[in-house]
């Protein structure tokens, strides 16, 4: 039963990947973030290599500035921040604070929204949808990043970004490069 379910997930992800055909990606990896599954799929040369649980916005999907929603559509990784930084390090305004977050493993939504371990800063590629005035993912500081609220991974809990387990975001960070295409869809 598990193998059948895994094969269905892989087929589903490959269908989603077909949406990249118009993107002309020059990188070997692509990422699909499926909000309905709360999963991130990493593909290498059209082959599913890894799948990770994530958390997207607790407020749903959308691109409007200050909405705290997760934007949909095609993006690329514009900047990678945090090379060789120790796991669970807190970033504020993309700057390494050299402080470590205390990881919350229970399903607790704390008052803090720490960005930890690594940052993959996304840039929208669709004018009017996730790029341009009032909807720009890059200007909205939309990242794939680690979180101290690991107990909430797998459910909608973020303030717009895509949160990952710290170990997972470090792994992903080391596998992808700037320019990697990222499709966020429901």
Q: What is the pLDDT of residue 112?
A: 87
| CA neighbours closer than 13 Å in the CB half-sphere of residue 103 | 15
What H or E segment, with its residue span, contains residue 102? none
Using DSSP bridges, classify how beta strands 181-185 and 115-124 pair: parallel, antiparallel or unpaired. Answer: unpaired
* Range scoring the smallest mean pLDDT among 6-10, 73-77, 88-92: 6-10
Residue 25 confidence (pLDDT) above 80: no
Give pLDDT tens digits for 42-65. Answer: 999 889 999 999 999 999 999 999
Residue that the structure tokens 């794939």 belong to: 144
Reading the block at residue 19, the tokens are 């949406």
Domains of the chain: 2-185 (2.40.440.10)
Residue 39 bridge partners (DSSP): 34, 53
Q: What is the pLDDT of residue 10?
A: 54
User: What does the alpha-carbon distance between residue 145 and residue 170 come to, in Å, rounded to a whole number?
Assistant: 9
């Amino acid at each position: 039963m598990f193998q059948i379910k895994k094969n269905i997930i892989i087929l589903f992800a490959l269908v989603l990947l077909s949406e990249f055909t118009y993107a002309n990606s020059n990188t070997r990896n692509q990422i699909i973030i499926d909000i309905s599954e709360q999963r991130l799929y990493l593909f290498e040369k059209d082959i599913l290599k890894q799948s990770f649980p994530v958390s997207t916005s607790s407020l749903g999907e959308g691109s409007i500035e200050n909405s705290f929603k997760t934007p949909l559509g095609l993006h690329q990784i514009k900047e990678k921040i945090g090379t060789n930084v120790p796991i669970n390090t807190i970033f504020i305004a993309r700057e390494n604070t050299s402080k470590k977050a205390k990881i919350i493993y229970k399903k607790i939504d704390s008052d803090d929204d720490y960005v930890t371990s690594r940052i993959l800063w996304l840039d929208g590629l669709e004018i009017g949808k996730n790029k341009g005035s009032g909807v720009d993912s890059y200007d909205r500081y939309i990242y794939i990043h680690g979180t101290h609220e690991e107990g909430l991974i797998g459910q909608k809990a973020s303030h717009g970004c895509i949160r990952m387990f710290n170990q997972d975001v470090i792994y992903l960070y080391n596998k992808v490069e700037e320019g990697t295409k990222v499709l966020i869809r429901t």
